[in-house]
């Protein structure tokens, strides 16, 4: 599995939002972190990679070029967890999972689907809530259901738009540990838009730092998370060090 993104540009109407986005090829088993301040283009890039938004340039995954195979075939391999959690309706998580899987015509028997849903709910701590109406669940739990809906598709390319924004510290780690394990075991690729730089440093193999729709830096966390990049893009003064567990750590001193 390999994802290539070269010279990707995207527009809303006539306004260009993404400008010639390129980053190093992503191999199976890797998590890519998309970083950048509000409105830098992370969600737009996600939507281009999922095929939801039109784009120009080269987007090639597992030998298929997005702009050649078309959205329908592309979407068979891709699942997105959008920035917004599933709406707080009267549906239960179980009903939502079943209706989504059947609407997507996922090729599982009832028994297989039931087992898969059970496994995902178990991994995400949702088993006790599976028969509760969504509107009775917390924002964090509904965010986890958004992730469960992406997992049920067993995608080769998993796109996560701020997947942990509503989660507490414990669940942030559980979710990203799970994504890491999945991509490593399945050889799939995940791209996650993240605001938390320490989580990005800890879980991502490659970081892509955006500013106003352009790539400012891409590479390993050590290469991208440096004082000058963070001062330029986020207007913050930082000190960067290594935690004793070997992760890059960003100490934010203050706004510039
Ligand atoms: N549907 C749309 N129509 C027109 N412009 C849009 C639309 N969606 C986003 N934009 C613009 O595109 C730019 C990039 O937005 P985008 O949502 O991709 O940024 P982001 O980095 O994901 O931001 P955030 O961190 O706040 O979620 C912004 O200037 C935004 O106003």
Residue 221's CATH number: 3.40.50.300
Domain total for the chain?
1
Q: Quick check: is 104 in a domain?
A: no
Q: Quick check: is 88 in a domain?
A: no
Please name which of 181, 152, 204 lies closest in space to residue 31, comparing C-alpha atoms. 204
Specify the pLDDT at position 169: 94
Asked if residue 40 has its Cβ within 6 Å of ligand 1, the reply is: yes
Structural domain boundaries enclosing 246: 2-83+156-255
Asked if residue 233 has its Cβ within 6 Å of ligand 1, the reply is: no
Measured in Å, residue 14 CA sits from the centre of ligand 1 at 14
Q: Quick check: is 25 in a domain?
A: yes
Q: Quick check: is 133 in a domain?
A: no
Asked if residue 197 has its Cβ within 6 Å of ligand 1, the reply is: no
Q: Quick check: is 180 in a domain?
A: yes
Asked if residue 47 has its Cβ within 6 Å of ligand 1, the reply is: no
ipTM of the complex: 0.98
Q: Quick check: is 123 in a domain?
A: no
In degrees, rounded to 5, the angle at the alpha carbon of residue 215 between the alpha carbons of residues 147 and 176 is 25
Q: Quick check: is 114 in a domain?
A: no
Specify the pLDDT at position 83: 86
Beta bridge partners of 44: none
Torsion of CA 165, 3, 113, 71, to 10 degrees: 100
Measured in Å, residue 41 CA sits from the centre of ligand 1 at 6
User: What is the atom index within ligand 1 of the atom nearest the CA of 83?
Assistant: 27
Positions in the chain short of pLDDT 70: none
Q: Quick check: is 23 in a domain?
A: yes
* Residue 219 CB partners (closer than 8 Å, separation 6+): 24, 206, 207
């Amino acid at each position: 599995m390999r994802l290539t993104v070269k010279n990707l540009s995207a527009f809303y109407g006539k306004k260009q939002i993404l400008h010639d986005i390129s980053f190093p090829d992503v191999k199976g088993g890797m998590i890519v972190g998309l970083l950048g301040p509000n409105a830098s283009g992370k969600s737009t890039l996600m939507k281009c990679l999922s095929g939801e938004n039109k784009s120009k340039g080269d987007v090639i995954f597992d030998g298929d070029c997005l702009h050649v195979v078309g959205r329908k075939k592309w979407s068979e391999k891709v699942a997105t967890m959008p920035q917004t959690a599933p709406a707080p309706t009267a549906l239960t998580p179980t009903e939502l999972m079943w209706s989504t899987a059947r609407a997507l015509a996922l090729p599982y028997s009832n028994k297989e689907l039931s087992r898969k849903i059970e496994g995902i709910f178990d991994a995400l701590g949702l088993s006790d809530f599976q028969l509760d109406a969504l509107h009775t669940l917390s924002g964090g739990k509904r965010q986890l259901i958004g992730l469960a809906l992406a997992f049920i598709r067993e995608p080769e390319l998993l796109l996560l738009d701020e997947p942990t924004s509503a989660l507490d510290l414990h669940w942030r780690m559980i979710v990203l540990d799970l994504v890491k394990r999945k991509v490593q075991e399945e050889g799939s690729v995940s791209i996650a838009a993240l605001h938390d730089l320490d989580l990005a440093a800890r879980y991502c193999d490659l970081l892509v730092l955006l500013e106003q729709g352009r790539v400012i830096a891409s590479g390993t966390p050590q290469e991208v998370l440096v004082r000058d990049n963070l001062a330029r893009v986020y207007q913050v003064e930082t000190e960067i060090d290594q935690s004793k567990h070997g992760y890059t750590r960003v100490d934010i001193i203050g706004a510039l």
